[in-house]
Amino acid sequence: MSQTKYIFVTGGVTSSLGKGIIAASLAKLLQARGYRTTIQKLDPYINVDPGTLNPYEHGECYVTDDGAETDLDLGHYERFLNVRTSQANNVTTGRIYQSVIEKERRGEFLGKTVQVVPHITNEIKERIQILGKSGDYDIIITEIGGTVGDIESLPYIEAVRQLLWELGEHNGIVVHLTLVPFLSAAGELKTKPTQHSVKTLMESGIKADILVCRTEHEISEDIKEKLALFCNVKKEAVIQSIDASTIYDVPLMMQEEGLDAVTLEKLALPNNTEPNLDQWKEFLERHKNPKNKVTIGLIGKYVELQDSYKSILEAFIHAGAANEVKVEVRSIHSEHLSAKNIDKKLMGLDGILVAPGFGERGIEGKVMAVRYARENNVPFLGICLGMQMAVIEFARNVLGMDKANSTEMDKDTAYPVISLMEEQKSITDMGGTMRLGAWDCHLKENSLVEKVYGSADIAERHRHRYEFNNAYKQQMEEAGLMASGFNPKTGLVEVVEIPSHPWFIGVQYHPEYKSTVANPHPLFVGFVKAVLVQKQKQKNASLA
């Protein structure tokens, strides 16, 4: 296949309809038919990347192997497709304008007046086609953030209009995701919002080729006919997307509705193979029919918004299916933990995960949670800041360094067991001091973490600034906290564990970013397995 085909996914009526899930589901179906497929996200906000955005604003910040801080939708793309994404898969308005302004400063526009059309739109078109021109993909799906009609989205919509015209017939299509609300007073579904949304799109010169209608109730054939007529699409291109019990059901629901078949027809691609979704169905089967159940406490400080820890929650779903266990995650706000209530709040948990984060808010609660897990033999996994809290807790309560801390929280601490590396101290740009993207890690022979991975050398994604202070390494190891993973080039500690504990691991990196349906992350699989084993041991002990 020579010409790369492009699919643009736009949204109408309201945000949060699930464009990312629909894009990932369509990509999964096309991939399962043998087409090399990837997805990119165009975000209309002016931040250069979501790295400095509050998790309450935008959910988690997802990090790729090449160190790009990106939108959490890229996590869905990787989890569904098992294909690695990169900087090229996420573009923001901030990055577009930054690039155009830099070109203007260098004199690349030869003194011309720089305008939204053609300069900004040309930059957008270029970014859309980077992946297509690489020769690695047959189909590129581009999800456009925001809602059609937003001021912010207009340059993207115009760039798509131009690109569709340039690519020619059958080389680019638009899938428009919209809402068909149910009015309980009238007792019926309403198509008017969708009609308005499609009309807004047409005012920008773009015709929707496929309509995906989000709904809470079944859409009748009559309504499909009405939508087809008023929105100028074929009836088979009106696709129902009804609420699902899990996002992982959506690819199969879209297949049933014929989304992939109508897409291939519009792109003039052969539709002579059935999608191979055996592995996907097997995963769903295990996910929906668990043999056991465990409860894991997620100790974090952004727990009010589920999307703040999206990748961790999804990694538990993958690991749960791998172990045929239902993992019930109980979110616990670390700011609400105190010496008085800790036993009551954490009682009944089979495992404890202390989550990543930045800043000093809620820190003491995390340290208490680590202590509870360590002293009560509760299986423990600490991620990034969670690993650092495990080091601080050990220094304070085992080594007697009662004011031990990270210099992030207390720059004058007498025991800076976590601190900045020397070369980072002079950098003032918030993003500039971060260790981002995939870094190598060597695991100690016969350590628990090496057994979990089944390998001595791994590469994992990072997003942090402060490091384990090697000046305290010997003391810690002599007291029973083993540094079992380190970066081979810098000697920085990446993993700590307590060999005398049933299962206690803290990692400086973010394993959750690499967990997918096809490859559940070994750390999460191992953690869930250990939680189940420990739970059964305690059950047997109480029966005896």
Catalytic residue among 318, 462, 464, 510: 510
Distance CA 147, CA 11 (A): 5
Consult the annotation and say whether 224 binds a ligand: no
Nearest to 177 by CA among 7, 11, 6: 11
Q: DSSP letter string over 308-327?
A: GGHHHHHHHHHHHHHHTEEE
Distance CA 173, CA 265 (A): 11
Contacts of 276 (CB under 8 A, 6+ apart): 32, 33
3-state DSSP assignment of residue 32: helix
Choice among 142-146, 187-191, 194-198, 288-292 with the minimum mean pLDDT: 187-191
As beta bridge partners, residue 382 has 354, 506
3-state DSSP assignment of residue 445: coil
Reported as a single tens digit per residue, the pLDDT across 391-400 is 999 999 999 9
Q: What is the mean pLDDT of the chain?
A: 89
Consult the annotation and say whether 113 binds a ligand: no
| 384 in catalytic set | yes
Helix %, strand %, coil % for the chain, to 5? 45, 20, 35
Nearest to 30 by CA among 49, 9, 61, 45: 9
Domain boundaries, the chain: 5-273, 282-543
Consult the annotation and say whether 143 binds a ligand: yes
Work out the angle between the directed axes of helices 121-133 and 93-105 (0-180°, nearest 10): 110
Catalytic residue among 60, 158, 467, 512: 512
Confidence of residue 424 (pLDDT cuts 50, 70, 90): very low
Consult the annotation and say whether 52 binds a ligand: no
pLDDT at 58: 55
Residue 363: what residue type? I
% residues pLDDT > 70 (the chain): 94
With a cut of 50, say whether residue 429 has pLDDT above it. no
pLDDT at 75: 85
Instruction: Look up the CATH architecture of domain 282-543.
Output: 3-Layer(aba) Sandwich (3.40)
Provide mean pLDDT across the span 213-228: 92
User: What value does the CA radius of gyration of the chain take, rounded to a whole number of Å?
Assistant: 25
Confidence of residue 59 (pLDDT cuts 50, 70, 90): low
CATH number of 5-273: 3.40.50.300
pLDDT at 33: 94
Consult the annotation and say whether 19 binds a ligand: yes
pLDDT at 53: 61
pLDDT at 54: 56
Consult the annotation and say whether 345 binds a ligand: no
Consult the annotation and say whether 205 binds a ligand: no
Reported pTM? 0.89
Catalytic residue among 158, 384, 464, 467: 384
Handedness of CA 104, 109, 114, 116 (dihedral sign): negative
Side-chain-side CA neighbours of 81 within 13 Å: the count stands at 32
With a cut of 60, say whether residue 56 has pLDDT above it. no
- Hey, which bits of 20-127 come out as E strands? 37-43, 62-63, 69-70, 90-92
Distance CA 98, CA 127 (A): 13
pLDDT at 50: 67
Conformation bin of residue 120: beta by default, left when phi > 0, alpha when psi is -120 to 50 = alpha
Distance CA 32, CA 476 (A): 49
pLDDT at 68: 81
Distance CA 90, CA 127 (A): 9
Q: Are strands 493-497 and 504-507 parallel, antiparallel or unpaired?
A: antiparallel
Consult the annotation and say whether 484 binds a ligand: no
Distance CA 295, CA 348 (A): 8
Reported as a single tens digit per residue, the pLDDT across 366-398 is 999 999 999 999 999 999 999 999 999 999 999
| 510 in catalytic set | yes
Reported as a single tens digit per residue, the pLDDT across 268-322 is 999 888 889 999 999 999 999 999 999 999 998 876 666 788 899 999 999 999 9
